Structure 1
């Protein structure tokens, strides 16, 4: 890590107004000198990573002395739900890290998960990863949030031996919540057999549990998530209908057209046309408001 670049990034963070994370927020980094330590909130569901930097030589670890008042503490607040889904998609189902995430997601998390110690993990490696997060956040180049998400995933994976997990089987409600999270995260590729293998349950049991608790079959739940994602892609992007169909898990467009019309009462092309009409109406309304404002200014 370039120490001069890291120092500039830390100074940038120190100069920024200190904000508190909000529910549903993405990524927030807060830096302060230890003599000015603020109150750090703990009531918002998120992952928290933290480390301390030497004020004069931030690339050096504070291993041989206690932190001083001028040294810099950095907290990284990472949106819990989104990051957990990314981590679960990356973690091998046989790993301890995956089991940590499964137990974590299967519970209602009202507080935070703070990872400050990494057990026997090399602290220099974690510090390098964290420093890259600091630089990415301070410089905010293109796709900086994706960069930080990837680095945070690496840091949490390295620190996972230090995270305690609660043993035991999940309750039916917790298991259903976990299954629905997986379906919503990967509707284009999720399968009942894959979920059964990943969570070590019988597929027939999972199918019956979902139908009992949700009133719909696994296939119906997957189809609903596919249609919702397709509608969003059609109305928010310029992707072709064939591309959208492929992205949500359909090899051809004929079946996709039929299911989309059954769900929304209109064809994919009509949904896209509706978006264009709404945008045109909004632009026309904006022009009208601008003209009224100009007229009032002229009269004034």
Structure 2
């Protein structure tokens, strides 16, 4: 399927979209979901139809039916809503959000959400991803990419339940639109290796979303999740920032900031700093010929003995022994 054929396919109206008076059998819909996987509940599903769901081994893609409101519902799959074309007005966890072309919203497990009727040119694509699929095919490739990734993983694993969604301001992002189009082309017109393609494209989509967040302004006053701003700050300043300097930057009391970070990530400020420093150290050990002392200094360790101690605690070997694995 080419991007042109995909566009034509997505803009076609199905029978439900052509009939504004159409209703849907909630019991039948829930039976479909239960046969696919362990899918929880739909509160009120007049706006759901059988044809919107196509299963793909842990990833379900659905084009949202136009001309009908999607009433409040929740499920135990993570949902990534992508605005392929036009715009949509959603309500998520009581918050009204306008989604424009190219933007995404990641909705957490069991968070109630709904959508106002979409017009003919408003194409909203929903990707539903099971917890098992994400953990098996995604987290193992994503978990080392930074504190922001750790925050997302904590949310998916119910370690952080305060924030029900993340709105990605990705309207002008070229790569995301390419990855999404390629995913949908493969999803609706499967090749021999479609599972591998979909797994890889899903990873690329989420990695790009992570980069989008990192590239946004740290001090955006309208930021819904302040913890994400703090984590982005740590990712950019871990070599020399302290709890005190970070607290001053965000106009917080150091003790309050320490508790706030632990509440939202399950980790201490010091452990987040150590993770960032060690990730840089391990990358340099495996991909460069720099002396270990220089690597320690680049990672923010002025005390080389302390660096050796922490490295052995984490990896069970010395930096030199770790490097030999990649030679």
Q: What TM-score range do you get, normalising by the shorter chain?
A: 0.3 to 0.5
TM-score scaled by structure 1?
A: 0.42
More helix by share: 1
What is the TM-score of this pair, normalised by structure 2?
0.39
* Bigger share in strand: 2
